[in-house]
Amino acid sequence: LETKTAPGVVTFEHGSLGSRYRIEATDDCGLTHVYQDVLLQDPAAIAGSIADRISVCDGDPVHIKAVKFPGATYSWTLPDGTHSHDQELSFVGTSDKAGKYTVDIQLNTCNATITGTYRVRIAHLSESAGTHTQRTCAGQSAVFAPADPVATVNGQPVDEDELEFQWQYTKTPTDANSWKPIFGATEKSVEYVAAYPGTYYLRRTTILGDCVAVGGLCTLTVDPGITVTMSAAERRVVIDHKNPFLLTAGLITGPAARTYVWQRSLDGKTWTDIGTDVSYTETQRLAPVVYYRRIIRSGTCETKGEPITVIFKRRYPAMVNPQLRQRVDQHW
């Protein structure tokens, strides 16, 4: 494209922006060849491409590196108004470091200044560190609702909609790889049902962008459940006499240490405590139909038995045939 001969520096006027050129320098003997590739760029176009958004978590290292130009000088303006003249800025991300970072790059090859802009977003996320314990029995639910996590971006609180929650569980909390997500447990609180006795450990993780915080340990102790099997004859009882009668409420399996409460109701809605034995002997007749049920408790476990419907048959007085009575009277 262009050839020049000179003992020192050579200036080429030929070139168009965006094109790449190769400059070849050769000594007078033609023995030494030096190559240099050159890309012609407009400083204004370069400045337009020097922009970035950086998001980090509170406490993470931050590195902002301006484009390197040989011999260029750099002048940074930080969010707090201070200045730096390094090509690269390095600091620990904290909320007071968030904001706009502007760098002016003074090129030494031409009379031009390139300006770049970097915006730094600092997210702070901390979970509730408190521990929680509950006790329940197999098949019954337990609710854990720790305090809300603290979440800010650039020092300002964020909406809860920006947070993601995921509850996890394990039986070996010291094994970091044993934690598994609980399917569907993506709210601030969790209602957990353990099907089998044992000790379960739960925790909540909160996510804000790339930041993850892990909450305190929730311990759930699950006792064996109580199972009651009732027969049809126990669920519906017909009484046609005036004597006291015995009510039973099924076969019980589960913990041996348990207590009982018998209840009675005239409408099946409002219940009154009437006994504390495994069975109940009734001596009263309060209505044509009366309902009974037995509640069994063992530790934190409680099982309400199915309602027992007791039907009292109406008893009529013995009737004497009038003609028979008349014959008897005449006989006397």
Domains and CATH numbers, the chain: 1-40 (no CATH), 43-125 (2.60.40.10), 128-151+160-223 (2.60.40.10), 227-312 (2.60.40.10)
State mean pLDDT over 184-188.
94
Pairing assessment for the beta strands 218-223 and 132-137 based on DSSP bridges: parallel
State mean pLDDT over 290-305.
90
Q: How is residue 83 annotated by DSSP?
A: E
SS3 label, residue 213: strand
State mean pLDDT over 194-215.
94
Pairing assessment for the beta strands 251-253 and 61-65 based on DSSP bridges: unpaired
What pLDDT, on the 0 to 100 scale, is given for residue 177?
95
- Residue of 204, 218, 120, 217 lying closest to 163 (CA atoms): 204
Average pLDDT, the chain: 88
Q: What percent of the chain has pLDDT over 90?
A: 61
What pLDDT, on the 0 to 100 scale, is given for residue 165?
98
Q: What angle do CA 162, 163, 169 make, to 5 degrees?
A: 160
User: Mean pLDDT lowest for which of 49-53, 285-289, 325-329?
Assistant: 325-329
Pairing assessment for the beta strands 227-229 and 251-253 based on DSSP bridges: antiparallel
Q: What percent of the chain has pLDDT over 70?
A: 91
- Whether 138 has a pLDDT exceeding 70, the answer reads yes
SS3 label, residue 327: helix
Here the tokens at position 232 are 């049809």
- Amino acid identity at 282: E
Q: How is residue 161 annotated by DSSP?
A: G
Here the tokens at position 191 are 């209602």
Tens digits of per-residue pLDDT, 13-66? Answer: 777 766 788 888 888 887 888 888 877 766 666 666 688 999 999 999 999 999
pTM exceeds 0.75, yes or no: no
Q: Measured between alpha carbons, how far apart are the two ends of the chain, in Å?
A: 158
- Whether 106 has a pLDDT exceeding 50, the answer reads yes
- Residue of 181, 216, 206, 188 lying closest to 123 (CA atoms): 206
What pLDDT, on the 0 to 100 scale, is given for residue 48?
62
Sign of the CA dihedral with 231 first, then 232, 233, and 236 last: positive
Q: How is residue 257 annotated by DSSP?
A: -
What pLDDT, on the 0 to 100 scale, is given for residue 134?
94
State mean pLDDT over 298-312.
89
Q: Find the DSSP H helices in the chain.
A: 43-49, 232-235, 322-331
What pLDDT, on the 0 to 100 scale, is given for residue 145?
96
pLDDT band for position 318 (cuts 50, 70, 90): low
Q: Are 208 and 151 in contact (CB under 8 A)?
A: yes
The full DSSP string for 174-235 is T-GGG-EEPTT--SSSEEEE-SSSEEEEEEEEEEETTEEEE---EEEEEEPP-EEE--HHHH
